[in-house]
Structure 1
Amino acid sequence: MLLRVENLSVQIGSITPLEGVNFDLDKGEILGLVGESGSGKSLTALALAGLLPLIGGRIPTGRLLFDGADMVPMSRSQLRALRGRKIAFVTQNPMTALDPVQRIGDQVDFVSRTHLGLGRKAARARTVELLTQLRIPQADTICNAYPHQLSGGMKQRIVIAMALSGDPELIIADEPTTALDVTVQAQIIQILTTLVRERGLALVLITHDMGVVAQACDKVVVLYAGRLAEQRQVNALFGRPAHPYSAALIGCIPREGMAPGSLVGIPGAVPSVASYPTGCRFHPRCTNAGAGCSDIVPELRSLDAGGAVACHYPLPGIENA
């Protein structure tokens, strides 16, 4: 197993915005990390990339096993050696991910020169090859351009090229299609999916778009208010979700032939970390809540059909192992 997350918690100051997260991922697999804004998706990404110190965060409990080695006790220099070389990070805003005063080619070259030890000519040849694979026309010319001369979709492909330049085994993509139009979103997701299948990479795809998850992912981890709600194979979750929150997210997906006005959202909002409710954090918005939901934290329980759910009253048709 390339990546195994065991009981991960994140602490910032005196608050714990993320706790009890578990999942695993192997090469050639895509894992979708989903949930509304404020569910803990980006915090999980920062933890996986070893970037929590940048926001004053730390991991008080849990393990992050990458290729068998626990990342939690690693020093900053050890984590820096992993980032770029073994673990790549694609940020959610390509508009700010690139240095506006450096040419595109120099920024992509820097990764392979730093992590692979390539010379100037070899690094540039690798950059042109990567840009071409990412369907960027006239790649050699684009290398001499500045970020402001490119479209949002083109910038996102450049960011992906930077991630690939160090020849990583794991890519963490934090909402990589944010601020892009629907057509370009589809192209970016297709590129990422193809790269995983052809290169045997592992991809953690962080998104709030359940349609993207259904299209691209093998596994799904559903987060809500800093806790894991459900983890399943993608077909199993979309076919028969176990957690009411998972079902509610799926219910928010527009479908062809739906009557006007029939699309229903989830009432309420994700609570802030300062106002997490006791018990199950979803219970104030849950239509399936019952006795114990407001004061007892649900344990993560395995399912006969595979995966696990943290719910006192999972939806009908799902049996606990």
Structure 2
Amino acid sequence: MTALLQLDRVSVEIGGVQLLQDLSLSLERGQILGLVGESGSGKSLTALTALGLLPLIGGRVSAGTISFDGVDIATLGEKGRRALRGRRIGFVTQNPMTALDPVQKIGAQIDIVSRQHLGLDRRSARARTIDLMTQLRIPEAAAVAEAYPHQLSGGMKQRVVIAMALAGDPEMIVADEPTTALDVTVQAQIVQILANLVQKRNLGLMLITHDMGVVAQICDRVAVLYAGRLAEERSVGSVFAAPAHPYTSALINCIPQENMAAGSLTGIRGQVPSASDYPEGCRFHPRCAAADARCRSERPLPHQLQTDGVVACHHPFGGLA
């Protein structure tokens, strides 16, 4: 069966600097793929690559292929990519506070998507908008459609942004940190809404997040990115039961646990390196307690694990593999 989205050894450059290198990922219908990693790992850039938006930020795919439902996105002109975005691929942007036009009413901003991509007239588009808002648990949807963004809470704005992503009846949604600016209770509601949408509509969902707890809650598979490379890509159950890459293990150890003693939460020493100064060998080695001479000099290539998925590490599972 053809994957809905397939990235095959994709490298991306901006201004002559390579920011993603040899990235391979796939997403199936009805599946939630979580992209995790610290800021600067390449998560949002991966989303822009999948959406064909790199030219807008001066970027280009320098190697590899990106296909959606078997069609190479790189072979499409801008008109073809615009027809794909919104209609077949929906995008939930990172910050709901700034994603909406402050001088347009909520309903009009959702209406335009179904009018442009589905060819609906004004009345039909508004009926669809109100139906989507109701499905997303927005109370008094008709009244909210006549409101302006500043009149809504952060959680309501995020629901509106999701409604915009759904208005074109897409087959895939890319959600870039959709819960970042929301409180914990609202985060849980938004996460559950997204999970229900995947189940009911058989969508593919690429979920970009810093929250490993969210990944554990709703994702089917997880891809861990570090400094523009894939560190590990496996099923969620396998990753949390036995992380193969030291970076994945470190991210999981950063999750607060119930009844954790004060001061016992550990962080990851150091920081993600600048794209202009990536280290030789494994890019994580300056922060890895298990790094040896081979890690410092030789790049670990992603290789298939016997159990599930791939890992790019010279000593997976702490050298026990």
- Could you tell me the TM-score, scaled by structure 2's length? 0.98
The answer to whether 1:220 aligns with 2:217 is no
**Deviation digits for residues 194-235 of structure 1, max 9, x if unmatched?**
000111000000011101100010000000000000000000
In structure 1, the partner of 2:13 is: 11
Q: Partners in 1 of 2:225 and 2:77 — Cα distance?
A: 28
Letter paired with 2:50: L
Q: Distance in 1 between matches of 2:155 and 2:173?
A: 18
Ranges of 4+ aligned residues in structure 1 off by more than 4 Å: none
Alignment of 1:19-168 (within 5 A): 19-168=21-170
Structure 1: distance between partners of 2:282 and 2:74: 28
Give 1:73 deviation, angstroms: 2.4
Q: Which runs of 5+ in 2 are unaligned?
A: none
Identity of aligned residues (%): 64
Residue deviations 1:39-85 (CA, integer Å, cap 9, x gap): 00000000011111111000011111110011122211110000000
Deviates further, 288-297 or 244-253: 288-297
Cα distance between partner residues in 1 of 2:264 and 2:102 = 45
Q: How does 1:206-285 map to 2 (within 5 A)?
A: 206-285=208-287
Q: 2:290·2:318 contact (CA, 8 Å) conserved in 1?
A: no
Distance 1:52 1:32 in 2: 21
What is the letter of the counterpart of residue 62 of structure 2? P
Distance 1:10 1:175 in 2: 21
Counterpart-to-counterpart distance in 2, 1:185 and 1:62: 35
SS of residue in 1 equivalent to 2:293: coil
Partner of 2:305: 303
Superposition map of 1:194-213 within 5 A: 194-213=196-215
Q: Per-residue CA shift, 1:274-303, capped at 9, x if unaligned?
A: 111111000000011112111111111100
Contact 1:231-1:308 at 8 Å conserved across structures:
yes
Name the aligned partner's letter for residue 211 of structure 2. Answer: D
What is the distance in 1 between the residues matched to 2:316 and 2:92? 34
Deviations 1:102-139 (A, max 9, x none): 11001100000000000111100000000000000000
Q: Is the 8 A contact 1:290 1:313 kept in 2?
A: no
Distance 2:319 2:291 in 1: 17
What is the deviation of 1:264? 0.6
1:170 maps onto 2:172 in alignment: yes
Q: How many angstroms does 1:317 deviate by?
A: 7.7
Distance 2:96 2:55 in 1: 22
* Greater fraction helix: 2
Cα 1:227–1:277 change in 2 (3 A) is same
- Cα contact 1:11–1:59 (8 A) shared by 2: yes
Contact 2:223 2:233 in 1 (8 A): yes
AA paired with 1:196?
A: V
Describe the superposition over 1:139-182 as per-residue Cα deviations: whole angstroms up to 9, x where unpaired.
Answer: 00001000010011100100000000000000000001111111
Unaligned runs of 5+ in 1: none
**Retained in 2: the 8 A contact 1:303–1:318?**
no
